[in-house]
Amino acid sequence: MKTINIAIDGPAGAGKSSIAKEISSELGFIYVDTGALYRTIALYAQMHNIESETQLIDQLEKIEIDLSFIGGTQRISLCGDDVTDDIRTPEISMGASKVSAIPEIREFLFDLQQKIAHEHNVIMDGRDIGTVVLPDADLKIFLTASADERASRRYMELKEKADCPTYEEIREDIIKRDYNDSHRAIAPLCQAKDAILIDSTHMGFYEVCTEILAIIKERLKLDD
């Protein structure tokens, strides 16, 4: 049976993960956060004090990444340890941007992403899902928001943590990551020609979810 694949791309902090997770739950699809895979590689590099690309590439055969879905929620393990929470830091976020520009790492993770999509109805989010990973996706969304709005959302999400960076630091990291992601030589961040653009700068979370769900049901003729 043919599976249904939906791609949601966009810049850092656009809300892709939380929105894709909510919509997946609503539709009964599996949510695949591809950014978590790159974050896990970045965490491995940090844990082993790896700074050079060559060193990291040489270590790839030792890196074991597993995705599991518990109660509809994606959990990710690194060499047998659950690192779902450990990969959600600003430092790992910047590290993920760097490792995602390495061709050997993209190839390493490419097969895993496609295997999941071939076996399940999925909503997969990332930077290059609609352009590279799932170019034949049944529906493609490009979700974005202004850098100021994305920084504000991220700050509100992290502000209760003791080591929360300032709004200015978060905004600077987002702008830097936007540049890195859109200027990398391999699979840069860009909107697929057949993707539907949604700018969520002035939209609430559930407003965005409702709009995307309506698009999915209309375009893919899914029943309520």
Bigger pLDDT: 87 or 223? 87
Distance separating alpha carbons of residues 179 and 174, to the nearest angstrom: 9
Give residue 62's pLDDT band: very low, low, confident or very high (50, 70, 90).
very high
Other Cβ atoms closer than 10 A to 119: 10
The answer to whether residues 9 and 128 touch, using CB atoms and an 8 Å cutoff, is yes
Is 222 a member of any domain? no
How do 65-70 and 73-78 pair as beta strands? antiparallel
| 104 membership: H or E segment, kind and range | helix 103-119
Residue 49 is part of a domain; what is its CATH number? Answer: 3.40.50.300
Percentage with pLDDT > 90 across the chain:
62
**Residues spanned by the domain of 204:** 5-217
Give residue 86's pLDDT band: very low, low, confident or very high (50, 70, 90).
very high
Give residue 129's pLDDT band: very low, low, confident or very high (50, 70, 90).
very high
The answer to whether residues 105 and 57 touch, using CB atoms and an 8 Å cutoff, is yes
- What integer pLDDT is reported at residue 191 of this predicted model? 95
Residue 41 has pLDDT above 90, yes or no: yes
Is 128 a member of any domain? yes
Summarize the confidence of residues 127-148 as an average pLDDT. Answer: 95
Nearest to 23 by CA among 12, 2, 8, 37: 8
The model's pTM is 0.80
Distance separating alpha carbons of residues 25 and 109, to the nearest angstrom: 24
CB neighbours of 44 closer than 8 A, spacing ≥ 6?
A: 50, 56, 59, 63, 78, 79
Is 204 a member of any domain? yes
Is 15 a member of any domain? yes
Is 68 a member of any domain? yes
Bigger pLDDT: 163 or 129? 129
Give residue 59's pLDDT band: very low, low, confident or very high (50, 70, 90).
very high
Is 223 a member of any domain? no
Distance separating alpha carbons of residues 224 and 221, to the nearest angstrom: 9
Q: pLDDT per residue over 163-219, tens digit each?
A: 888 999 999 999 999 999 999 888 889 999 999 999 999 999 999 999 999 999 999
Summarize the confidence of residues 133-148 as an average pLDDT. Answer: 96
Number of domains in the chain: 1
Is 122 a member of any domain? yes
Summarize the confidence of residues 18-32 as an average pLDDT. Answer: 90
Is 99 a member of any domain? yes
